[in-house]
A and B are shown apart, each in its own frame.
Chain A
Amino acid sequence: MSALGALMRKELIALLRDSHALAALFLMPVVFIVLMSLALERLYEPRLDTLRHALHSLDDSAAARRLQARWAADHGPAVQLPTDWRSRLARGELDYVLELDAGFARALGEPGTPPAPVAWLHADPGLDGAARARLEADLGAALGELRAMMMMARALGESPSGDFSIRPFIGIREAGERPQAASSVQQNVPAWLVFGMFFVSAAISSLVVQEREHGTLARLVSLGVSPRSQLLAKALPYMAVNGVQAALMLAVGVFLMPLLGAAGFSLAGVSWPALVLVVTAISVASVGTGLLIAALVRTHTQANTVAPLCNILMAAVGGIMVPTFAMPAAMQAAARLSPMNWSLEGLLAVVLRHGGLAEAAPWAMRLVLFGLLALVAGERLFRRRLT
């Protein structure tokens, strides 16, 4: 067996016997994918039909009844309006109450603007912003459609009748082929896959510092094993670990998440060469980061602190923990500096937008360049530390 082969074999044996490392590298990202996909499900598709709501209509007109029927059809049945509904809203026992004033139909059927609102949305202060915005948009659309119908009937001298929804007039087409709607699984599988893959940097840096403290690295130098071979013997097994991680995380998205009631992650139509290119590039970047950190830190304690901290910071900035589209412009600009963001964008370009090698290449090149620079810097520092 060659020297490189012997050292790689040693890395794999040691890793397979380290239950903590296995849990950190494989179990933790799986748990993150499951928990975050389920927890953030409503962030991507706010469910308005399950909100606890009541209707408070002071107008008994046909227009008010039509709106109530339409609202119930779209947003689920309303609960009986309790007498203390305002305090129940404040306590979060109700999500919202839709109130129609006594002059609702009259104001809606007259030209001009009413002196005061005639339809009120009383919301629980804890109702999330996305749901509240959609409720407001739904109410605006329903009132606009109803008002348009009433004005038209008034002009024609007829009573409003038939379906008054404007929705059949609207269609949405997304640029490019996209088999699935945006969902938390779509975001979380690639995001936590990237996080898990970068976590090998913590394992590598801890391992290198431990071997330096134990004198094994010095012994290898004494036996004529070059620092480059030593680093390569760590890099290649952990790139294999990254490959297994990627396969496992994608399998969790495709097979496990639907069983848990979440939207499934589909790889149908994905370019496999592009996916392999991006995953390999992410691996080069994560392993390079690990070896650079290993060369920079001096003690085991530093390695155990610095590497996970770097990972968490890169994840927080890079759109792993919070999607970049939810960030303000300044943070989105900062996210573009994080290798984890390049990794995520590269994966999304392939698995979400079904991009090929051409679309994956810019992200992959950036990651490989970063990884190689980290490796070269790490090797130089590593040589210095060994002597």
Chain B
Amino acid sequence: MLAIEGLGYRYPGARQDALHDITLRLAPGEILGLLGPNGAGKSTLAAHLGGLLPIQRGGILLDGQPLAAVRRAAPRQVALAPQAFAFYEALTVRENLDCFGALVGAAASVPTALANAGLEALADHRAGQLSGGQKRRLNLAIALLGQPRLLILDEPTTGVDPHSRRLLIDRVRALAEAGMAVIYTSHYLEEVEQVATRVAMLQAGHLRLQAPMDALRARALLEVELADPPAADPAASLAPLRLLHSAGRHLTLELTRQDDPLAVLARIEQVLGPSARFRYGHSALEHLFHPPAEARP
């Protein structure tokens, strides 16, 4: 459905690209978790999808048509829920939905939007008086008014309580199950693990990784805490084992299906010293943010 082909963008006056040769695919019903540190290019990519930035290089296609042309013909097909509370605080919840509903030609869907967001009891409260979680739900409800096919959520759970976070995540999952394609940017890695079906990671404008969530979960990791600082350089002494991360007494290794974790642990203790504890299991997104030890300077 969505195809981003070699997308590149440089802000006026900038020395480096904010986005460089980004190629991504997204199918209906998929939730793409878009990860990356601050300044990685997530918001720039979201702004392109939201129609806020012109395309300099590459292209964005929706069902084979340029996104800009799709937006001109049917602006409701793509909705952006920005990180900021992009609604009017002086208006009530219902007045906000009425206003944006009229803008997307979906005034009749306001009662449904109120119910879906769990905001019926707060319909006549001013938006500025809502809690952080309630504001996030209103932000999402406004984005969904036009029943878009592609939804871009930029940090949708920032500053919300666990109850509202759970409501939002459940709602996003339900939307995807109904066939909506969702791009979900967040700093909360555990949250992305829960909700995303695929993960893409941006770093300094480059796409560093793009993989199905199941494939990432299938990676076996062995985390070891040594009793004392390592007696030798872990990267050199453990080769050809794949050392993902090493910091002081803490080591993280990615194992293959053929590796016996206890045999690997025995070898680690033999060359680096005794271990205090260890853990063996599937991969977590947290490790995506740590480059492999051999890649670090």
Contacts and interface: CB of A to CB of B under 8 A. Distances in A.
Given A214-B84, A218-B82, A5 B102 contact: yes
B53 A219 contact: no
B248 interface: no
Contacts of A218: 47, 50, 52, 80, 82, 86
B143 to A, nearest CB: 8
A215 B50 contact: no
Contacts of A18: 90
Interface in A1-18: 1-3, 5-7, 9-10, 13-14, 17-18
A10 B95 contact: yes
Interface in B54-112: 54, 71-72, 75-76, 78-80, 82-91, 95, 98-100, 102-104, 107
Given A218-B82, A223-B103, A10 B91 contact: yes
A81 interface: no
Contacts of A1: 102, 107
A9 B53 contact: no
B29 interface: no
A137 interface: no
A386 interface: yes
Contacts of A17: 90, 126
A214 B95 CA distance: 17
Interface size class of B (residues with CB under 8 A): 20 to 34
Contact of A224 (B47, B53, B75): B75
A337 interface: no
Contacts of B51: 221-222, 224
Of B84, B103, B126, most A-chain CB atoms within 10 Å: B103
Interface residues of A, number: 27
Nearest to B154: A215
A1 B99 CA distance: 9
A3 B102 contact: yes
A225 B85 CA distance: 18
Given A5-B102, A223-B100, A225-B103, A13 B50 contact: no
A218 B49 CA distance: 12
Contact of B80 (A13, A214, A222): A222
Nearest to A3: B103
A387 interface: yes
A181 interface: no
A215 B84 contact: yes
A219 to B, nearest CB: 4
A305 interface: no
A219 B85 CA distance: 10
Contact of A10 (B72, B85, B88, B142): B88
A64 B85 CA distance: 84
A6 B52 contact: no
Contacts of B52: 218, 221-222, 386-387
A219 B82 contact: yes
A386 B50 CA distance: 12
26 contacts: A1-B107, A3-B103, A6-B98, A6-B99, A7-B99, A9-B99, A10-B88, A10-B91, A13-B90, A17-B90, A18-B90, A215-B83, A215-B84, A215-B85, A218-B52, A219-B86, A219-B87, A222-B50, A222-B75, A222-B78, A222-B79, A223-B103, A224-B71, A225-B103, A386-B52, A387-B52
Interface of A: 1-3, 5-7, 9-10, 13-14, 17-18, 211, 213-216, 218-225, 386-387
